[in-house]
Structure 1
Amino acid sequence: MKALVLLIALMPGAALAGGLGAARTLPAGSVIGAGDLTVIDTDRPGLTDPSAAIGMQTRITIYEGRPLHANMLQAPRVVGRNEIVRLSFQRGGLRIDTEGRAMSDGAAGDMIRVMNMGSRSTVTAQVMSDGTLAVMN
């Protein structure tokens, strides 16, 4: 039996590689911090660089000890669907600020549809890192 275990351990491709795993159960929507990661032995390919995961938001619930994959993570959402946001339009010296309702979630840099609360018209705006939206038309 010991010989069989030793033989399997020495076989090429059978060795476990180190990867990143969840140090605790991370609910969907959690922003990952350094304390949420641990190094695990796994034969599944996944993330190995902590900087690729820290600051990202989970798309799904990731259970403790499970390896992290890039498709489980997304850029943190700054604006939520149906959230009331500040909508800005600027062209030259003209600046118009009003309230809008986000029609979808958005991370910084995303283009999303927003309903102007005053006119009830829908425009496309870019999500800024501070949570405001800039109309690009």
Structure 2
Amino acid sequence: MTGMRPCTVLAMVLVGVALAGVADAWEVRLRAAVTTQASLVRLGDVAEVSGADRPTDVSLEQIVVALGPTRSHSRELTTSDIRRALALRNVELQHCQFTGASRSVLSYGVAAPAPGSNPVRGEGAARARQPGHARVPVEAPAQQLIPAIVAVRPLTRGEMVQEADVELRQVEKAGAPSGLIQRLADAVGRQTRQSVGADQPLTVRALQQPLLVRKNEEVTVVVRCGAIQARRRAIALNDGTRGDMITVETSDGSSAQFMARVVDIRQVEVLPDSTSAGR
């Protein structure tokens, strides 16, 4: 580099450092599922960004990549959606690697804390020492919070639970009933055994599989024997959900009663060796 001006040498060094930094790959690890109440979802809400320098990480995590979910509608976000959102913000994606899930399902609700990190409000006394100031005790109640599925409106007995009827919230563990339902999938599509008030957590005892057969309702009885299948009409003598064994009575005048398993709406199945349940 003989004869080159010092400022030229310095500029070349700085350009080389900059190019080396650009060549460093950075990673976006997408989460498979995210629960949020935000109206705008940012990259940091759905993915972990690493590999770039920290200031860049922070700015990347603040980029809006999707609209938030609603109480009645979840959203799906793919890596292609994220690429488009980043490209609109002039983010260089040549050295970006997407890992983790290929898509993320966005559901409305309060995100559950990570295992072992449940928020706790501690009860005790705190004293601050500072020259010229008195000691002042500070007290706060202690309650551990846990996730629970809560009704957002009153639910009547026998009502089918829809996605818009419930949401995931954090409730105080001490006052929570036993048998809490903590996943939306365990509540949506089920039927209430009893009335449930608004803002009341749902429990296993409060819900049941929906009734597929009702007492005194006409049902189709399916009898299977190998590849042979026969059908006949009968009257259900009990209510039943999927998998329940109920008593049915033939409606052809013979009044024969048999035990049958509920398999679908107004449909039951009888094994060929079933014995008469009554007459």
State the TM-score, normalized to the length of structure 2: 0.43
What residue is the counterpart of 1:28 in the other structure? Answer: 157
SS of match in other structure, 2:264 = coil
Q: CA deviation at 1:36?
A: 0.6
CA distance in 2, matches of 1:93, 1:49: 40
Distance 2:140 2:151 in 1: 27
Match of 2:140 in 1: 8
Q: Which residue of 1 aligns with 2:214?
A: 80
Consecutive unaligned residues of structure 2, counting only runs of 5 or more, are 1-124, 126-137, 275-279
| Structure-1-length-normalised TM-score | 0.83
The 5 Å alignment of 1:1-137 reads 7-9=139-141, 11=142, 14-43=143-172, 44-45=176-177, 46-92=180-226, 94-118=228-252, 119-136=254-271, 137=274
What is the CA–CA distance in structure 1 between the aligned matches of 2:246 and 2:164, rounded to whole Å? 32
Q: Could you say what secondary structure the match of 1:7 adopts?
A: coil
Q: Which runs of 5+ in 1 are unaligned?
A: none
Give the drift of 1:83: 0.6
Q: 1:40 to 1:92 in 2, by over 3 A?
A: closer
Q: Distance in 1 between matches of 2:266 and 2:157?
A: 21
AA at the equivalent of 1:20: I
Aligned length: 130
Deviation at 1:96, TM superposition (A): 3.4
The alpha carbon displacement at 1:16 in A equals 3.9
State the 1:8 CA deviation.
Answer: 3.1
Root-mean-square deviation (Å): 2.0
The CA distance in 2 between the partners of 1:52 and 1:123, in whole Å, is 32
What is the letter of the counterpart of residue 70 of structure 1?
Answer: V
Please give the per-residue CA displacement for 1:18-77, whole angstroms capped at 9, x wherever unaligned.
422111111111111110102344321422211111111111111111111111111111
> Identity of counterpart residues, as a percentage?
27
Higher helix share: 2
Query: Given residue 39 of structure 1, which amino acid in structure 2 is its aligned partner?
Result: L
Q: Distance in 1 between matches of 2:200 and 2:239?
A: 27
The structure with the largest alpha-carbon Rg is 2
Contact 1:40 1:65 in 2 (8 A): no
Kept in 2: contact 1:111–1:127 (CA 8 A): yes
**Which of 1 and 2 has higher RCO (CA within 8 Å, sep 6+)?**
1
Letter paired with 1:8: A
C-alpha spacing 1:95/1:19, structure 2 compared with 1 (3 Å): closer
